Chain A
Amino acid sequence: MVQHYLKVYINLNSMKITDEIIDKHGIKQDEYKKIISLIGREPNLLELGIFSAMWNEHCSYKSSKKYLKNLPTKSKRVIQGPGENAGVVDFDDDDAIVFKIESHNHPSFIEPYQGAATGVGGILRDVFTMGARPIATLNSIHFGDQEHPKTKNLLNGVVSGIGGYGNCFGVPTVGGEVKFNSSYNENILVNAMAVGLVKKNKIFYSKAEGLNQPVIYVGSKTGRDGIHGASMASAEFDEDAEEKKPTVQVGDPFTEKLLLEACLELMKDDSIISIQDMGAAGLTSSSVEMASKGNLGITINLDQVPCREEKMLPYEIMLSESQERMLLILKSGKEESAKKIFQKWNLDFSIIGKTTNSKNLILNFNNQEVANLPLSSLANNAPQYDRKWTKTVISKKKQVQSKYNRFGILDSLKKILMNPNNSEKSWVWQQYDQTVMGDTIQKSGGDAAVVRVHGKKKGVALTVDSSANYCLANPLEGGKQVVCEAWRNLIASGANPIAITNCLNFGNPEKEEIMGQFVEVIDGISQASKYLDFPVVSGNVSFYNETKSKAIAPTPTIGGVGMIKDINNMITINFKEIDNYIFVIGKTSGHLCQSEFFNIIVGDNDGPPPQVNLFNEKSNGLAVKDLISKKLVKSVHDVSSGGIIVALTEMCIKGKIGAKIKIPQNKINLQEYLFGEDQSRYLIEVNNKNKEKVSKFLEKNNTYYEIIGKTHKESLDIDKEFNIKLTDLYQFNSFWFNNYFKENQ
């Protein structure tokens, strides 16, 4: 779309801005009027492009800002909340952890390898921009139905793209989730999270300070890729999604690795005043954000921007989303020493401008001023909407036993294990380097991944979670649940949960029901994160995940970070010894609506999701945490999708130890007990010696528990129902991916 105008783009001021051009830039007529009133004249094409880049949904958060303000963002440990390149939390001693999750959904659908790769690249830059060395990445990826013609190619491309970037960069990819649902058929989700470690006194921010300080461009050259990428991600797809390929950036993880090392080398002394990566909307947003945060002006000479191609125009230079670039403001006088570092790493280094007191963004090209815009018009005065929304209607459908009690337990379990959502995912993880850096002490496949803080006793526990079907059925409860799920996963690894980052994936916010999903999900997230003292420190919003008016299920993805003070207290999900007791912590009432059992076996997607009782969540979780720190438990696993029986199966398979289960006398039937997805529950393994101690502790704590059996040799036995060998369970569980890709790895 852009190229078309560039053909006639000779003199910026001579080109008439027509309604069609405004529309092609995704700017509404009333927004255009606002631009004119803010700058007191009509913008030229370059300026219009800049407004389009800054005012699109992706960069301006114009539909979401009003609600994002309600998220709890503070706690004793939060050093930096939302608003910077990434969030920062105190990690004891002189350490801090920097982390953020971000979406790269639209580009990944158009070009899965590069879309996913640059998603990883972008989030890594957000983290090392702040001075942190990345120590782990995670991801949450969602695809359409397994039968959908695009799914296989997209899955394959996204996984190799994530691996291709992270592996080369040299950061371990330690965890994540892979899910399938027809709502993602035409809009896949690729959410990437990066986590870095930094010294508390060496955190770098993006706020510019000081007049006449040099503005430096470092990294890769600017090319014609990714032009208007952020605008593309701020609209629905139509039939021509494929034609949008030129808006997808191309990643070069090798250059990113060089950029990391060069930046960290420069950050050792105090040359940098501020630093910002060029992500969405490239040079435009980085320069605008840095200057406007510092309440300064900025002048850039576009002739000095290193370009990959000849005769690049200001419009292209300002709107390119070429990867692996950074913008720095240096202390004047430090240019030469900084330049040497970037030269050593074979990276471009160019002084492209300076900070001014004009409070305007001024761009010069060929000795001509080509743009002059008040920064406030681009950043603070960007439109904000209070969009109309409607409450989601919650199904009040009740479970009717006669509809599901005919489904056999073993047969249902098999089918659930063989479903791609629950299938063992080593086909995916094995394409990610999980052990580079030598500190990964718990890899994918448990409740949380754990990375040791290098050279220390403490570890960072990490998880990424989403539960779109719960959120679709009840956005408020779903929003709460997904925060609790992340909290629970951290607890179950022995960690103290600290904070979260969120990636909010939704359809078109201009539609009332979609906006309603968003508003209620945020409310749910807020309630849970406030109650659990688990604040949101960073994140992003991805709207317009919609094709031909069909939206994805609302999918908030939560990335959680926790601390394990002593990694020797880390715990895993695998059963450790035979003849130990298996406890269920938390009450099982047998909620089946929206469960895997209902979705996969019964084929019923109606009804409300399980409710989260935040009081029980916290109380059960803290009880489990206490038991872990007292070293009274051998293994812990939270009970989530698939219920108790799926959790048990996973503990058995991972530990290569079986279990003999006798269901307590209950009012609920077997399907409800084993497949129910009631929240706030854990399975724990306790040896004979500690059984009394644990029981007494739980009773004293008023924590509900049941003992459901013992670990034993090589099979899973459910009293009076079946017994099945673990090797068979493993076969079912590992079947799907290998079969789908016709591999036997």
Chain B
Amino acid sequence: MSSCHRDSVESNLLPNPSIAPPRPAHDRPIIVAIVGPPNSGKSTLFNRLTGLRQKVANFPGVTVEHRMGKAKLKDQHEVFLVDLPGVYSLHPRAEDEQVTHDVLKGERPDFPKPDAVILILDATNLGRHLVLAAPILSLGLPILILLNMADDLAARGGKVDVSALAAELNCPVTLISATKGIGIESIQQFLLGTAVRLNAPPPRIELPVLQDVPKCRQWAAKLGIRASYKAPAPPLWTRRLDAIFLHPVAGPLIFLTIVIAVFQSIFSWAQPIMNGVQHFILGSGLWMKSVLPDTPWRSLLIDGVWSGVGSVVVFLPQILLLFLFIGILEDSGYLARAALIADRTMAKIGLQGKSFIPLLSAYACAVPAIMATRVIENKRDRTATIMIAPLMTCSARLPVYTLVIAAFVPNIPVLGHFLSLPAATMLSLYVLGFLAAITIARVLRSTVLRSGRSSFMLEMPPYRWPTWQSLALRLIDRARVFLRRAGTVIFSVAVVLWVLAHLPIHNGKTPPIEHSYAGMVGKTIEPAIKPLGFNWKIGIGLITSLAAREVIVGTLGTIYGIEGDEPSEGLQQAVHHDLSPAGAVALLIFFAFAMQCFSTLAVVKRETGGWKWPIFQFSYMLALAYCGSWVAFHLTNYFLG
């Protein structure tokens, strides 16, 4: 697959094995940037080259995420790869393009200038993708150009003369298939040789005026002709599938079926796994209790940490399942069609099709959803989507809903066997969150975030089979983020609460919860929450759940000091003592609307670049929650007599 037949390039590509390559002048590892347009297979290549030796990182101060990884090379060489955001040009306009531009030009103080660049282009759409080669070549860095999807190109009858293209561009060019792993060894050779090439002067070729898109496109077209590029036949399968997925009647039906199936499966399929995890946590807690001596430390470890963190880890299967579905939809190319179908409906609430993807993810967790809003170029659209994303019923609300519903809602059928009252209550809470979100979106778009109808431009990538590797890496990445959160935020809250609930020590004994520091805090805020039907114990839960919603379950568990092997049932009974039915409804409404999640606020601050929006979001959601539960409390009281 080696394509560089020019001797000078070839000798550069293959370092002489008998001579150790000279170390670079600076004493840091070699960094190679991977650049390419969206849908060029950049991430698949990155995954293939680095495998598990990668991590997602953020450039400080901007919203743009990049991934760093160590390349698997045969030698002792260590080459770091950085996967930059997909761009069509280096014209710094959108934030991700700005970052790609700055990193490649060495203008970011927090990131070293890459030593070489791997430019990955879609071989099946070479004419348009080659346009990006002009600004990348102008950087003057050692460069390897990869023409990805070689298998697709050949299958659809396309052709390109890579050696002619390499000669034109004066740099190595290789046909690869990142999904099938074809041509990967030439990339490894390039990476092995980067140290050698650092000292070589970069090749100079004639480039078009970079600001002029038509000129660049003409330059790319000319290159294509000289490289005897034959564009492949149109992707037949994509057209056939689009005839179904974008069919006026079948399309929306399939869309709805997929959305419902995703929901159904994250609730029904994840349940057995979640039960398993729950049993494991309970069982191991009991086991620890039996083997450890009865000291305050045992209580801290088991009642504080183990049950606090455990109550959150239970949700990992559900979150991973949702991300698996989103990954499959995204990698297969369907998500672009879903955005197209959703665009009309989203336009009605003042948003656009691209907002659909983040809002769907927000049903799992608002944090990745808010990061996923980066696909929306329009700043106001993006801010509006970020503002409403936490109103979608995220999985952290589930434990709270489950506890309160199980404690207060009798299990009687509503629609025969099809729908019971608890399930209907749960469903209406989902609908409530969604309705609140679209109402707020409309309000925001006609007030603070007012702007003309935004444009919606979305490339429809050909349908492709998702690769297991990409899906697996995605899930591992999500699991890491989630567990890190459980291990830090939720762990700290559990410990702090346990300590506050056991102090001040009086005559060598821990005080009853009512007189502990935690109890005092609860008592202090009691007047404010009394109108909603909550007492001081619920108050403590509301405060701890500011860190993360699900924490209230663990907190109430700690407060009631419930022990034994069936804590959830015990907790349900205990909650009954402290909440009237009206208070329970108010609590559900409070959790549906309130912004109780540090991680979300932190990510909103990062993504919107300041405190203004997270403070606004926290305030409006708190106001909504307070008013909503006040109304709910009084209405329920009125109807229940």
User: A and B: partners?
Assistant: no
Tell me the A residues contacting B by CB distance below 8 Å.
none
Tell me the B residues contacting A by CB distance below 8 Å.
none
